[in-house]
Amino acid sequence: MLNIIGIALVLLVGAMLVMNFLKKRNAEEAEATIEVDDKTYTLDVMKAFVKKRLDEITKINLYDIGLSEEELKRRKNKKYELKKALKGCTYGDVNDKKYVKELIYDLLYREYGVDETNVSKAIPFDIPSLLTAQDKFDVILYMYKNEFGYEALGEIINKYNLDQLKYVAGEAKPCYVITSEEISDIYEKENFVLTLEDKINIVVQRIYQYYKGYSSIDEIRDMNIDGVSGGVSGLPESFLSQVAQTDGDYLSQIAEHKVPRACDSIWIMFHGKSIRLAFLSFGTEAELKRVCQNIYKYNNPGQLSDTNGYKINEMKDGSRVVVVRPSMSETWAFFVRKFDVKRATLEQIIRFPGKEDAIDLLKYLVKGARIISLTGEQGCRKNNNAYGND
């Protein structure tokens, strides 16, 4: 009798386990089913899908799905690695960023069904006239990065002389700026032929930079340049709210981007020159604020708050980052300075006639342990000189 009861209990428990398994599998299949409509392959919808799937992967309880010991250990390691990468990529770790982007690529290609017929619904690769300046720049930088790595931006600037003084509409003096017209000209001259893999990778980068990256400057920050900053020029939101109550015409000009806003302010430092990227923008103050709140977080330097309105810290690659916020400043802003020690040589920095004597003098001053004062205006490479002497 006891044996019969025991067998019945075992069968009952087994049946319950099988039913639970089938319910979970049916639920997963139902979630995996994607309703296709006109907006399915837009960047916002795909970003929401990626965010949801990564959230599910990192929060799933592995002990509830009946895995073997070996499979459980493997899945736990994978889950831990993903959590670590999602945290590390916000600190500027290029390896963690690469890992997360590869996972996003797999989710879009294998689960979401992105292919040659629908990838252009996210970014109109096949219709150049519909591409924005940012779309074109993303394609240019991606293709150059495949060939030149982190020297890609420098190669583009040098090849097309983008670091030269030029006059732009509304400016009385020449300035260092890269315009959307220049980006369009470069895109036409290059005439890239993109494969499906290239297109998906560009879409992946766009999704990543608005999900875990640094918005429009995400790829630029990784390049071998002297630095990048955002929110450091243009009109703050506080001023715009005041103007809205008094001058509607001026506000309409601002809306048409005739007057730059703080969230349109993106600058790079290249060979000691501050160059404004007029074709790029954070889009909204909220996006600029998100970047400022994330870019300084490496090694937990503390909270950026209204009472403590600035933070000075380093990123994981050694870059120095300074972040400010209202009410200490008029708007949210950040400055990232990158120190490329390997490339900073005295011969590269000092270029005037008779530089050999100046270099010899600096070498003997350093060998003699003399105190040296380096002075000069902003952007004249004082820090590079110091690293070069080291």
**246-278 pLDDT tens trace:** 655 655 655 555 667 889 999 999 888 899 999
pLDDT at 258: 62
Q: Are strands 333-337 and 320-324 parallel, antiparallel or unpaired?
A: antiparallel
Phi, psi of 227 (to 5 degrees): 170, 170
Q: In this structure, are residues 279 and 178 in contact, taking their beta carbons and an 8 Å threshold?
A: yes
pLDDT at 131: 95
Token pair 């924005």 in the structure block, residue: 132
Class of domain 220-338: alpha beta
Q: In this structure, are residues 134 and 279 in contact, taking their beta carbons and an 8 Å threshold?
A: yes
Say how far apart CA 139 and CA 192 lie, in whole Å.
8
Say how far apart CA 62 and CA 175 lie, in whole Å.
58
Coil, helix or strand for 298?
coil
Phi, psi of 160 (to 5 degrees): -110, 15
- pTM of the predicted protein model: 0.79
Residues in the chain predicted with pLDDT less than 70, given as ranges, are 1-38, 170, 238-259, 340-344, 348-349, 351, 378-390
pLDDT at 206: 96
Q: Are strands 266-270 and 227-230 parallel, antiparallel or unpaired?
A: antiparallel
pLDDT at 31: 44
Range list for CATH 3.30.450.370 in the chain: 220-338
Coil, helix or strand for 177?
strand
